[in-house]
Amino acid sequence: MKIPLRNDFCLWIVPPNSGKVKKVRFTLRTVGVIALAAILAGGTFTFLASDYTRVQVARFQNYLHLKKVSLERDRLIARKDSLESALTELEQKNRLAVTREQQVQMRIDELASILESASLGGLKDKKDALSSSKQLEDKNSGIGGAEIDCRLGDPTRCEGIDSATGSVDLHVEKQNQEGSKDLVALLDRYLALLKITPFGVPVPGHINSDFGYRRSPFSGSLRMHQGVDFSSSYGGYVYSTADGIVTRVGRNGTYGLMVDIDHGAGVSTRYAHLSKSLVQAGDKICRGEVLGLVGSSGRSTGPHLHYEVRVNGKAKNPMPFIELAEKIGGIFL
């Protein structure tokens, strides 16, 4: 059945109160157009509202993302600054460590050179405090000790005595410059060597009779003096010049009361003409520890200390060892 589109419709509008009745006339076509327009308008509004909502949601999501990115950027910048600061600090510490390592290496090399100087000689001019007066006529300074007449009897009597430099082979290990070395281990080895190396003076006072050939104060003939004599007051303290073990405490017609100390590696020291011994054989002794008192026992012209350094039983010039104290002190001061 075909509905005519041109039929007229009439809408009467009656007010609730008395008034003029209004009449609205329209056709079916008009109703269709209005309905279509309403549908289009509603659809358009719904689409626009939905699109607007979607855009706003997307904007909010973008805002949150940008906020997160901004916070992450700030965190990374702060982290970057922190890492740069830490890197700068590490570089400074590394430079300081390299500098210190170089300084330690220099001191190790110098220490090795000094230790080797005791082995190879190179005796320099003696300091005033350690210099010999060379005046054997001074009756106020006691001298004595073992003497050997190298001109008489068996020529082997003087074997093992080095009167020129007192050279001693301590087998100081040189650092290999071509490979990396553990500086701490190397220092430990040198420190261990230093502990058994006699250096410094055993008693306060000046040297009044050197190691080597001298005119004997007893016979007047030329004799070999196997140590050095320190002029000192009677009863003064005598100190050990290195760590070791007391191997002998006894009397001898030449040395008088004497103390022998074994320092290891074939190195030993002798302290003679004592008035009293404060140690016994077998005692462990440290550098700087008092071992006895100055005296004039044995073959002696007055109070003094006769001091010897021996390596593998051979008498060596004590002066290079005595001077080690000043040389080593110069490294670390």
Q: What is the pLDDT of residue 329?
A: 66
Contacts of residues 276-285 at CB distance under 8 Å and 24 or more positions apart, as own/partner, are 277/249, 279/246, 279/249, 280/246, 280/249, 281/246, 281/247, 281/248, 281/249, 282/245, 282/246, 283/245, 283/246, 284/243, 284/244, 284/245, 284/246, 285/240, 285/243, 285/244, 285/245, 285/246, 285/261
- With a pLDDT cut of 90, the percent of the chain lying above it is 32
pTM over 0.85? The answer is no
Query: For residue 114, what pLDDT band results from cuts at 50, 70 and 90?
Result: low
Condensed to tens digits (0 to 9), the pLDDT of residues 272-309 reads 999 999 999 999 999 889 999 999 998 888 899 999 99
Please provide the distance, in angstroms rounded to a whole number, between the alpha carbons at the two ends of the chain: 125
CA–CA–CA angle 52, 58, 59 (5° rounding): 90
When comparing pLDDT for 115 and 326, which is higher? Answer: 326
Quick check: 256 pLDDT over 80? yes
3-state SS assignment for residue 195: helix
Mean pLDDT of 100-106: 79
Q: What is the pLDDT of residue 330?
A: 63
CA–CA separation, 208 and 70 (whole Å): 86
Query: For residue 138, what pLDDT band results from cuts at 50, 70 and 90?
Result: very low
Quick check: 168 pLDDT over 50? no
Q: Measured in whole angstroms, how far is the alpha carbon of residue 280 from the centre of its chain?
A: 38
Quick check: 86 pLDDT over 50? yes
